[in-house]
Amino acid sequence: MNGDLQDRSDVARLVDDFYRRAFADPLIGPIFTDVAKMDLDRHLPIMCDFWETVLFRAGLYRRNALQAHLDLSARFPLRQEHFERWLALWVENVDEHFAGEKAELAKIQAARIAGSIHRRLEGRSGSDFETLKPRSQREGEPADARRV
């Protein structure tokens, strides 16, 4: 059985393997290589900072992930299928290498981040809860309905 993510070296192994897979992926690989023209050696430490901050509250990532995706999507519209593929590769990669609380957190946070960025690119709220409405605004209920 695989152990859990413990430190930056684990994060680096996870991130390195993930991006090598993502770069080779027929759906999202060209976005990284042809559109973003991403230099993997330069990008990996940035992503390690990001994931070490997400998983261990390291405080190392100080960039704006949303802005980077807004800029990229202006050149090549990022669609739901791109985020779904990114997430599937991430989850598969985490599951192959790690198991435990931090590994689960890595998958949960990836799903939240992908969903939030995708919603924001569509001009919507980044919140998972954007579709929740106050009880009085729900379909079929009178505006003055109160919880009993």
pLDDT of residue 134: 56
Cα–Cα distance for residue pair 148/137, rounded to 1 Å:
16
Tens of pLDDT, residues 45-93: 999 999 999 999 999 999 999 999 999 999 999 999 999 999 999 999 9
> What average pLDDT does this structure show over 91-98?
98
Give the residue carrying structure tokens 């990008």.
43
The verdict on pTM exceeding 0.85 is: no
Tens of pLDDT, residues 9-45: 999 999 999 999 999 999 999 999 999 999 999 999 9
- Nearest Cα to 88, choosing from 23, 22, 139? 22
Tens of pLDDT, residues 101-113: 999 999 999 999 9
Number of H helices, E strands in the chain: 6, 0
Asked if pLDDT for residue 144 goes beyond 70, the answer is no
Residue 83, CA atoms < 13 Å, CB-side half-sphere: 19
> What average pLDDT does this structure show over 134-147?
52
pLDDT of residue 124: 79
DSSP string, 24-44: H-TTTHHIIIIIS---HHHHH
- Name the band, by pLDDT with cuts 50, 70 and 90, for residue 133: low
